[in-house]
Amino acid sequence: MTTDASARKQAPAPLNGVNTPALFATIDVVKNQPQLGAFQFRAAGEWLGGTQSRTTMSDFSGAGGEHSHKATYTANSDHPMVLCGADNAPTPVEYVLHALAACITAGIGNIAAARGITLHSVGSSLEGDIDLRGILGLSNEVRNGFSAVRVSFSVKGDAPDAKLQEIVRQACARSAVFDILTNGVPVSIKTGN
């Protein structure tokens, strides 16, 4: 979830599958009514046994109202066999990599369209290092999560390399997930029954 407000005086035509005029209109609406920018995304998780679970994502609020996705989306997760799971789905940490790739890639599409640059392809390759001595409870000095994440983008489009690289930089600078991962977020946990 990334976009770009620069140069919005001259909204270019739709490009890269992005409805650029609608995007620029949205930016102007939120600029004039900042309270419409307040969104809340939601998810509901359900344990399926072992290390497997399913998450349902169906509704969210924002732009002053309630919204439903056009379908109720689900995502499953599991641990791999080498970690004593059934490997019926990707691991939770792989979904973190997915969220990061998807967020920056959407931003690249939006920003290129806003700048009038036609994209041919955007590929990304992500690696996250994790020492399992953390989550296995074998060390209090080893963190539980990734110690480092590396992302490599390959962008092809009708612009010089420097312009394409600048689009990736701007996409990161306005990426929700890049911000969440690099700066952290307060998480509160409540337990009932």
Site for a second copy in 36-75 (CB under 8 A): 37-47, 49-53, 55, 57, 60, 62-63, 67, 69-70, 73, 75
Q: Does 10 engage in binding with a second copy (CB under 8 A)?
A: no
Residues of this chain, 150-179, that bind a second copy according to CB under 8 A? 150-156, 161, 164-165, 168-169, 172, 174-179
Is residue 33 helix, strand or coil?
coil
Q: What's the token pair of residue 56?
A: 């349902």
Closer residue to a second copy (CB): 9 or 41: 41
Q: In the complex, what is the shortest distance from the CB of residue 116 to a second copy, in angstroms, rounded to a whole number?
A: 16
Q: Residue 174: name the closest of 94, 96, 99, 108 by CA.
A: 108
Q: Which residues contact 141 (CB under 8 A, 6 or more apart)?
A: none
Among 118, 121, 141, 158, binds a second copy (CB under 8 A): 121
Give CA–CA dist 172/100, Å, rounded.
Answer: 10
